[in-house]
Amino acid sequence: MPEKPYDHNQIELKWLARWQNADFFKAEDLTSRPKYYLLEMLPYPSGTLHVGHIRNYTIGDTLARYKWMRGFNVLHPMGWDAFGLPAENAAIANRRHPREWTLANIAYMKQQHRRYGFSYDWHREVSTCEPEYYRWNQWFFLKMLERGLAYRAKALVNWCSKCGTVLANEQVVNGGCWRHEDTPVEQRELEQWFLRITAYADELLNGIDKLEGGWPERVLTMQRNWIGRSEGTDVDFRLAGTGEPIRVFTTRVDTIFGATCMILAPEHPLVARLVREEDRAKVKRMIDDRARRDPGDLVKEGLPTGHYALNPYSGEQIPIWVGNFVLMGYGSGAIMAVPAHDDRDFEFCSRYGIPIRPVIRPVEGELAAEGALESAFVDDGVCERSGEFSGLPSAEARRRMTAKAEKEGFGKGSVTYRIRDWGISRQRYWGTPIPVVHCPGCGVVPVAENELPVLLPLDIQITGTARSPLEHVPEFVHARCPKCGGGARRETDTMDTFIDSSWYFYRYCDAHNDKAPFDSAKIAYWFPIDQYIGGVEHAILHLIYSRFFTRVMRDLGLIANDEPATRLFTQGMVIKDGVKMSKSKNNVVSADEAAERYGSDTARLFVLFAAPPEKDVDWQDAGVEGMIRFLGRVYRFVTRNAAARGGSGAADARILRKLHQTIRKVTEDFDSRWHFNTSLAAVMEFVNHLYAAEAELSSSAMQEVLEKLVLLLGPFAPYVAEEMWEELGRTGPVFKQSWPEFDPELAREELAEVVVQINGKLRGRIHLPFGTPKEELERAALADEKVQPLLAGKQVIRAITVPDRLVNFVVK
RNA sequence: GCCCGGGUGGCGAAAUCGGCAGACGCAAAGGACUUAAAAUCCUUUGGUGGGCAACCACCGUGUGGGUUCGACCCCCACCCCGGGCACCA
């Protein structure tokens, strides 16, 4: 049969049409077949996919197809993270409704997904901006409210006085408003909703140990640091004069005799009272300034209040300052400054001439003289000048000093976390309405469960002014109080979109349930996720929130698993010309362009072949050409040999061995580290061998080789594999065939190649049967014609032999 | 500043357990086919030196040390690149 040219467009469009309405990738709930839940992070529907997205989904799709071929019941869903600020910005810029804009983007991107042959079960598609989805956000919120996991508190927000609106953090550019860069952002205090993630801080931290091995180490490290557990001591100093307590948290209570001042965060509640009238403006400036600046280039500044605090251990009076580097959100918002033993305090106190008093000496060394330190001594050591605690090692002093505080009631041992409660209020339109009303009589009242969803009104003008766009919609704002039936004002804040993505993967298991977020039995079947794939940029927020939601849902009795996913894979980016693809750099390669020019099979192959999936890859057109060349090479070979009469058969054994070695290599890559670049290299190498042996293969060997080759390529290049499968006269989609097994006997080389070294340098190779005993190996190595002359006149001191691999002679 | 990654040909990379450095692909050069070109197929391709040649010798995985019969791989110090965190008391 004559070969056919590889026309990728014709092939891909043919199968695209055939697959359009097929239900190929439907996952079955609750079967006895082994399940495999494979998930890629759902995208924000920004408008169009580029080849960076394609890489992410190709990694997942290739694995999904392999698992199908391995007989798994694969759940491979896709959805849309469809709420969010860009839709609102687009509305302001183009006068297009966020919903309309979002839905159009989704429709377009879905076609792009199909064009690439991604094997999603579209029956389970989830779009987070639909009431069918977000009503369950509201439901979870109510459950958390009932359990005290949702609460209101005052918090600072970014405010632009020109827009008259709240700014999201990403709308703050260099300390100014994104639309009015000359207008500095101010900090305003607003009542906001929070979720009590800190209640789970310890559990989230301890759970990390169990993810070890399944999640990348650096993600786990980032999460540990983010939670930031510190053990220390709360100590109440007393305000001189009134005696009222001022609490500080310290991990180094052993240094407390060296405290030479106390510093309050500018937002600390006492500051308003203690600071002199004429300094109020300075404090306000400190607060705004900190919000605007990179924390890196903030210079430590302070302001004395003129008041004093009493150290409960020494009775000493120390001055109280306000300092811009003290954080209100951590500990109690007040610190004791021990400049001799803390770098930050050292810097601050040096600047303002506050005494620096060493009270810890190195274990082997002298206590530094007062004022003699060049920098803080921050290590543990031995306490000195510390009253009854002098002479104690730091750790012991901490224990005894904490015990004393507890006994005398001025403090206690304490654990503090860096992680804060999750502020979920957004003064935005395009998000999930928070389901509560504000009643003048009853206060904050939750909407009844059977009243959900609180629908986001669609008739709205988005102008970018006012506290929140929803405030302009009277029929939304005017509500009845569920408790007393009187008039009430509906909450106009919407939820952070991280809520949407914190539990969407549960919804995939039961996407159309209108009675509950999902059926728990289905979750029990599918969960936990076997493999989650996404960008490392979500290592902290999305993945911690998801772990938090999972635990809340477990405690609500809805699910049994503690963690959402047993394995996580973070893939690298696709870059172009050495930099990240972005619209502003004008170097974006669109998914459409790649598919039209090269075909989606080729694009898929390139992103897998260019580097292992965890590394960044540079999109290079020349490299892509190489992949289309390879597919053409395979395609022509298969088509011209599909019905060939067959040759001598002289190469049969050799090629079949190579075939089984190739199957082994590809299978091992799938089952271990997903280095598809080496899998594909092995297949290419095999094809190179086929070209060399084409005339020497018997017809039966050829048939077997062609069939297995097509199956091997199936997960990587689904279109051309399907076409070739048909050319071979076979029916049924490739991904429903069994993955080829390799036979270790057939894959084995006849003879082992044993390397001969002299003093570690390669000098020759000998070929011997596998399992040749050591002595014989050495005898053969000595007899080798290349080795022999080099050993003449030398004395062999030792021979190191690795069976079937190597002999190394150590000579003098 | 701290914590992770990483540094291998002209380029992307491979070497999975301390045992043949550079598989596979790109680019480049040469050849075959063609009126010609494209496409395709074949060959060569880490560096230096030598040989008409098959080939031979030496050097070579960021730098400098170390461990080892043997190091891209392990240890110590340093340089460079990328990422994350960054006043968390």
Does A477 score more than 90 pLDDT? yes
Q: Hey, what are A495's tokens? A: 């939820």
Asked whether residue A299, judged by its CB, lies under 7 Å from any atom of the DNA or RNA strand B, the reply is yes
CA at A623, C1' at B64: how many angstroms apart? Answer: 38
Where does the pLDDT of residue A461 fall: very low under 50, low under 70, confident under 90, or very high at 90 and above? confident
Q: Which nucleotides of B are covered by protein (CB under 7 A)?
A: 3-5, 11-16, 19-21, 23-27, 39-43, 56, 69-71, 83-89
Q: Mind listing the pLDDT tens digit for each residue in A328-380?
A: 889 999 999 999 999 899 999 999 999 999 999 988 888 888 878 888 888 88
Q: Mind listing the pLDDT tens digit for each residue in A737-772?
A: 999 999 998 998 888 888 888 888 888 888 888 888
Nucleotide nearest to A336 (CA to C1'): B89
Residues A754 and A805: beta-carbon distance below 8 Å: yes
Residues A77 and A125: beta-carbon distance below 8 Å: yes
pLDDT for the residue numbered A439: 95
pLDDT for the residue numbered A129: 97
Asked whether residue A605, judged by its CB, lies under 7 Å from any atom of the DNA or RNA strand B, the reply is no
Give the global pTM.
Answer: 0.93
Nucleotide nearest to A806 (CA to C1'): B19
- Please give the full DSSP string across A141-189, using - where no structure is assigned: HHHHHHTT-EEEEEEEEEEETTTTEEE-GGGEETTEESS-TTSB-EEEE
Residues A347 and A354: beta-carbon distance below 8 Å: no
Does A785 score more than 80 pLDDT? no
Nucleotide nearest to A327 (CA to C1'): B88
CA at A272, C1' at B84: how many angstroms apart? Answer: 37
Complex ipTM more than 0.90, yes or no? yes
Q: Hey, what are A14's tokens? A: 């043919």
Where does the pLDDT of residue A91 fall: very low under 50, low under 70, confident under 90, or very high at 90 and above? confident
CA distances from A488 to A474, A519, A728 (A): 12, 35, 71
Q: Hey, what are A361's tokens? A: 């000496």
Residues A662 and A687: beta-carbon distance below 8 Å: no
Asked whether residue A326, judged by its CB, lies under 7 Å from any atom of the DNA or RNA strand B, the reply is yes
- What is the overall mean pLDDT for chain A? 90
CA at A348, C1' at B59: how many angstroms apart? Answer: 56
CA at A625, C1' at B38: how many angstroms apart? Answer: 15
Phi-psi region of A724 (alpha: psi -120 to 50; beta: other; left: phi over 0): alpha
Pairing state between β A35-40 and A73-75: parallel
CA at A609, C1' at B12: how many angstroms apart? Answer: 9
Nucleotide nearest to A345 (CA to C1'): B89
Asked whether residue A444, judged by its CB, lies under 7 Å from any atom of the DNA or RNA strand B, the reply is no
Asked whether residue A228, judged by its CB, lies under 7 Å from any atom of the DNA or RNA strand B, the reply is yes
Asked whether residue A541, judged by its CB, lies under 7 Å from any atom of the DNA or RNA strand B, the reply is no
Where does the pLDDT of residue A443 fall: very low under 50, low under 70, confident under 90, or very high at 90 and above? very high
| Helix segments in A330-378, DSSP class H | 343-352
Distance CA(A9)–CA(A637), nearest Å, equals 19
Q: Mind listing the pLDDT tens digit for each residue in A504-535?
A: 999 999 999 999 999 999 999 999 999 999 98
pLDDT for the residue numbered A81: 95
Where does the pLDDT of residue A466 fall: very low under 50, low under 70, confident under 90, or very high at 90 and above? low
pLDDT for the residue numbered A537: 84
Q: Which of residues 772-791 of A touch strand B (CB under 7 A)?
A: 786
- Please give the full DSSP string across A437-499, using - where no structure is assigned: EEETTTEEEEPPGGG---PPPS-----S-SS-GGGG-HHHHEEE-TTT-SEEEEP--EE-TTT
Does A174 score more than 90 pLDDT? no
List of residues 6+ apart from A295 with CB closer than 8 A: none
Q: Mind listing the pLDDT tens digit for each residue in A224-272?
A: 988 988 899 999 999 999 999 999 999 999 999 999 999 999 999 999 9
Question: How far from the centroid of its chain's Cα atoms is residue A623's Cα?
Answer: 29
CA at A682, C1' at B54: how many angstroms apart? Answer: 30
Asked whether residue A684, judged by its CB, lies under 7 Å from any atom of the DNA or RNA strand B, the reply is yes
CA at A577, C1' at B13: how many angstroms apart? Answer: 17
Distance CA(A427)–CA(A437), nearest Å, equals 16
pLDDT for the residue numbered A170: 64
pLDDT for the residue numbered A519: 97
